[in-house]
Amino acid sequence: MSEKHLDKIISLCKRKGFVFPNSEIYGGLKASYDYGPLGVELKKSISDKWWKIMTNNHENIVGLDSSIMVHPDVWEASGHISNFNDPLVDNKDNKKRYRVDDLLSQQKTKVLELLCENMSINFEQDEIIEIICRELLEKENKHDGVLEKSGVIDPFSGNVGKWTAPSQFNLMFKTNSGPSEKTGKSIFLRPETAQGMYINYLLVQNSMRLKVPFGIAQVGKAFRNEIIARNFIFRTREFEQMEMQYFVHPENDQESMDFWKEQRMDYYINELGIKKENLKFHKHSEDSLAHYAKEAFDIEYNFPFGWGEIEGIHNRTDFDLKEHEKMSGKNMMYFDALKNEKYHPFIIETSTGLNRQFLMILCESYYEDNENNRVVLKLPFDLSPNKTVVCPLIKKDGLPEKAKEIFMKVNNRYKSIYDEQGSIGKRYYRQDEAGTPFGITIDHDTLNDNSVTIRERDSMKQHRVGIEKIFDFIDDNK
């Protein structure tokens, strides 16, 4: 699938009511999107499915809905105030601003080689861009002017940029709590949902009488002031995360990490139906690990613009709990009454973006059926916004009345849509593009023999089915 397909998916999303550009009447707000009628249904189905698998399928995982705004010390303790930064550079010639890692990823290999030579770094290493970025920030004076000297091109102008020294840019959105900017306290919109689970973990554990190992799951908004937000809903400044924090005995961290890696990959393949070849693990090298992590893996999907992270599985050790203990002065240890043992549990985190899963599912489902001159969204039944479209063959002879009667019945069990506009072929094609798996057509025979035609989205096969057997047919073929 190419970049061109992404443009087609973006256009389909707008046309069919999945995703709209935000504030369009005012010229739009960059990297901000609204979810339309079909989009909210799809997003909700993805989130419900994740929730069911993570909580209903594990008797020791419970839910939480913590606040977006928390005490500012939370971010001091978690390290987000000092570490949640991206390196930035400006081109003095045209005032364009870039994230250094992003800028370097767009350079030719020979530019990167020269950069490494000028910085005395061995080029033959994994994640070389991250190593260069860190080195640039840590030894700013030593590497003064090195980007320009190495011929780093500004992708906007196509010329070597007149680069400023890299500086750190904190990704958290800051705002004020209280009526006045002067007297109000500075607070931050959360950049991850995780911290809400850490600061509440003992309350959750006590209230539910949980024993380690146990997990807390949460779905909610997160905000990051991304320097470059792009690739449609892949990277936005406001997004939703689905996170699960698993609290384990420090001796069992590796076992738990292995378990969750397997579970999560299995989820994408067997629950969401993503092709194996479109998924892979990416292990973070020691150099690129986040400040809190002992080990980290990303699950990546092969998007039309290349491989991109959809989920992170991190061994966050006891870092967060110990830091919150230091900052708050409150004991954050778990007490195992049976063993009479007190300890800070290690945390294995699975963290995925709902919006990125949404985009992945659209990319995976998008299919151009050139033989039949149609576009089909081959969404799995349980994720399809509408499960059936109910159509009277024509708009007269009592067919609409009968069709509405059937629609009410079907819609009560499976979310459906009623359509009597245009030729039946056009109506089917409209719904193919929206991912509706079944078409139910009411014709003159229906009035005599109480049967309807059910048409399957992917195969386009049609079946004559008695009205009382509609649900059996759907359940057998979904």
Identity of the residue, 135 or 311, whose beta carbon is nearer to ligand ATP in the bound complex: 311
Alpha helices in 247-286 (DSSP H): 253-266
**Ramachandran quadrant class, 232 (left: phi over 0; alpha: psi -120 to 50; beta: rest):** left
Q: Which of 130, 311, 318, 443 binds ligand ATP (CB under 6 A)?
A: 311
Q: Are 181 and 28 in contact (CB under 8 A)?
A: no
Q: According to the binding rule CB under 6 A, does residue 264 interact with ligand ATP?
A: no
Q: Give the whole-angstrom CA distance, residue 371 versus residue 149.
A: 54
Q: Give the whole-angstrom CA distance, residue 453 versus residue 464.
A: 5
Identity of the residue, 364 or 443, whose beta carbon is nearer to ligand ATP in the bound complex: 364
Q: Give the whole-angstrom CA distance, residue 86 versus residue 137.
A: 10
Q: Which of 18, 214, 239, 358 binds ligand ATP (CB under 6 A)?
A: 239
Q: According to the binding rule CB under 6 A, does residue 226 interact with ligand ATP?
A: yes
**DSSP one-letter string for 275-312:** -GGGEEEEEPPGGG--TT-SEEEEEEEEETTEEEEEEE
| Least distance from ligand ATP to the Cβ atom of residue 233, Å | 7
Q: According to the binding rule CB under 6 A, does residue 224 interact with ligand ATP?
A: yes
Q: According to the binding rule CB under 6 A, does residue 312 interact with ligand ATP?
A: yes
Q: Would you give the binding string for ligand ATP spanning residues 191-220, x where CB under 6 A is met?
A: -x----------------------------
Compute the half-sphere exposure of residue 141: CA atoms within 13 Å on the CB side of its CA: 0
| Least distance from ligand ATP to the Cβ atom of residue 346, Å | 18
Q: According to the binding rule CB under 6 A, does residue 351 interact with ligand ATP?
A: yes
Cis peptide bond N-terminal to 213, omega within 30:
yes
Under rule CB under 6 A, how many of the chain's residues touch ligand ATP? 16
| Least distance from ligand ATP to the Cβ atom of residue 195, Å | 12
Q: Which of 310, 313, 434, 454 binds ligand ATP (CB under 6 A)?
A: 310
| Least distance from ligand ATP to the Cβ atom of residue 312, Å | 3
Identity of the residue, 239 or 303, whose beta carbon is nearer to ligand ATP in the bound complex: 239
Identity of the residue, 150 or 241, whose beta carbon is nearer to ligand ATP in the bound complex: 241
Q: According to the binding rule CB under 6 A, does residue 241 interact with ligand ATP?
A: yes
Q: According to the binding rule CB under 6 A, does residue 300 interact with ligand ATP?
A: no
Identity of the residue, 243 or 253, whose beta carbon is nearer to ligand ATP in the bound complex: 243
Task: Give the pairing of strands 374-377 and 33-35.
Answer: unpaired
Identity of the residue, 242 or 376, whose beta carbon is nearer to ligand ATP in the bound complex: 242
Helix axes 424-434, 3-16, angle to 10 degrees: 120
Task: Give the pairing of strands 438-442 and 388-392.
Answer: parallel
Window contacting ligand ATP (CB under 6 A); options: 10-18, 44-52, 310-318, 368-376 = 310-318
Window contacting ligand ATP (CB under 6 A); options: 231-239, 244-252, 323-331, 452-460 = 231-239
Q: Give the whole-angstrom CA distance, residue 346 versus residue 250.
A: 5
DSSP state of 468: G
Of 119, 192, 197, 125, nearest to 152 by C-alpha is: 119
Q: According to the binding rule CB under 6 A, does residue 284 interact with ligand ATP?
A: no
Identity of the residue, 127 or 336, whose beta carbon is nearer to ligand ATP in the bound complex: 127
Q: Give the whole-angstrom CA distance, residue 101 versus residue 132.
A: 8
141's CB contacts (< 8 A; 6+ apart) are none
Of 206, 215, 189, nearest to 53 by C-alpha is: 215
Residue 98 phi/psi, 5-degree rounding, is -135, 155
Site residues for ligand ATP per CB under 6 A: 192, 224, 226, 235-236, 239, 241, 309-312, 351-353, 355-356
